[in-house]
Structures are given as C-alpha cells and as structure tokens.
Amino acid sequence: MRAYETVSVGVAITVLLQPLVCRGSSSVIGWSTSASVLTNIPAALTNAVEIAAGSDHALALTADGRLVAWGLDSSGQTSVPPGLTNVVAIACGANHNLALKTNSTVVAWGYNHVGQTNVPPALTNVVALSARHFSDLALTRDGRVVGWGWNNYGQLNVPALTDVVAIGVGTFSNAAVRANGMMWVWGDASIARTPANLSDAMAVTWGDSHALALPRDGTVFVWGNQPEAPPRLRNVIVFGSGESRPACSATLSGALPC
C-alpha cells in the first residue's frame, strides 16, 4: 500500500490548535480547553470522511465529495468556492484551504498575503496535499514534491527528490518520506533534522518547533520542542499535530490518545 492512498479507518485528523475527530459513524466531535469557534460544528454535517482545521476555522469532506466549513471567515476561509465538488482530500493552513479534486487538480481559497492560495498553474496529477500556517506542499503521481506560499526559512526550497510517498508541512520546516522509508527534511535548521534511529517511515507531520513521524511498526517518533510520545502508544494508523503541540493519534483499537 502506498502511503498516499486513502486508508479508511474511521478517523482523519489535521489540526492547528484544537482537536477535531471524525468517528467511525462519520460524525465529528470537537473539544477545547477554552471557548472556540471550531467546536461549533454544524448540526447538519453528516457522512464526514476527513476533517482539517486552521487557526479559527475547520473544513470537513463528506463521502459524496462535498465540503462543509465553519468558524471565522475573516479572509474567506470558510467561504467554499461555489460549485466545488468531487473533492477527495483537503488541507488547512492558518487561514486558507486546499482541496484535491478527482481530476488530480488543486483548488485553494482564503488568506493569500504570501501566495499560499496561488496554486502553480502547471500543477497536475496531484495525489496528496499538506498545508500549515502559510505554506503548502503537493505530492504528484510520479513522486515529486511541489511547494508554494511562505518561504522565509527555505521551507519551499524542495530538494530534488523522487519516489516520495508522503509529505508534511510545518510552520518553519517541511518533510517528505520516500518509498524506501527514508525521510528528508528542510527549512529551519534548528528543527530540520530526523532522529538517527528513525527508519521505515510512512507518514510525517509538523508543528511550529516539533515533528512526528510514523514508522510501519505503528510507533510514533517525536522530536523538537516536545516530549516523547506516550510509552504505551502502539499500533498507530493515523495522527495529527497542532502548531504548538502534538494532538491526536488513532490506533487499531480505535483509541484516540491526545
């Protein structure tokens, strides 16, 4: 199984500040330690298969390829473009969104002060997306990585990589996992590195100053300005991270350690 193929496990998590969970029943639950617009989930939202969240907004993808957005709309981030259907994957930055359509093209909307919604015109054959803060990455069918948006730390200076199967965007650094399980990172030199004993990776996610990687054995590697993963955390199949802290992971048993 390629890392960029959709895995139906009843949960898909992408967060910035507050956790959101898509349950096996396709309903969405949100929680926070303080009042948050993200937890005001639309009552009519059903059949959700993927969720993503920005700083103060969230986006859900339904089983029939439609999008539902909620939260603040200060930059048009919850104003889903009219007629946008046939969506198969989504990603959220701080105040912007990306949607991958069945024809392998990308649609972006929301805040655009550094080009984060300026999808490269020649970008086609996309199979996966990742976004955070003001930067975006796309993975193409032939294993290449394309980036756009904020590049103050060189996070969009993508190495000449091939055979990439997974990507992860951080606030200051980005990462790509190759088919052989090796991971490449670039951007902010203070965190753009990988643990020496990490191998056989299949997924990666970033925050502000920390990163998480998921090897095929279902454990979780955490490095940067964050504590280690819980010692009993095993059999992980999908995870998500906030900007300032790791958030949630789903295990084969259905548990959601956060």
**Sorting pLDDT into bands at 50, 70 and 90, what band is 182?**
very high
pTM, full prediction: 0.83
Mean pLDDT of 191-210: 81
* Separation CA 34–CA 56 (nearest Å): 13
* Separation CA 133–CA 85 (nearest Å): 25
* Separation CA 258–CA 256 (nearest Å): 6
At residue 76, the pLDDT reads: 97
**Sorting pLDDT into bands at 50, 70 and 90, what band is 81?**
very high
Show me where the domains of the chain are located: 20-251
Percent of the chain with pLDDT over 90: 47
Q: Cβ distance 155 to 174 under 8 Å?
A: yes
Backbone phi and psi for residue 135, each to the nearest 5 degrees, phi listed first:
-125, 155
Of 108, 134, 102, 135, the closest CA to residue 121 belongs to 108
Q: Which CATH architecture has domain 20-251?
A: 7 Propeller (2.130)
At residue 82, the pLDDT reads: 96
At residue 37, the pLDDT reads: 67
**Sorting pLDDT into bands at 50, 70 and 90, what band is 122?**
very high
Q: Among 16-25, 137-146, 178-187, 206-215, which is the least confidently predicted range?
A: 16-25
Residue 28 scores a pLDDT above 80? no
At residue 208, the pLDDT reads: 75
At residue 256, the pLDDT reads: 45
- What are the start-end ranges of the H helices in 50-183? none
Q: Among 14-18, 26-30, 48-52, 225-229, which is the least confidently predicted range?
A: 14-18
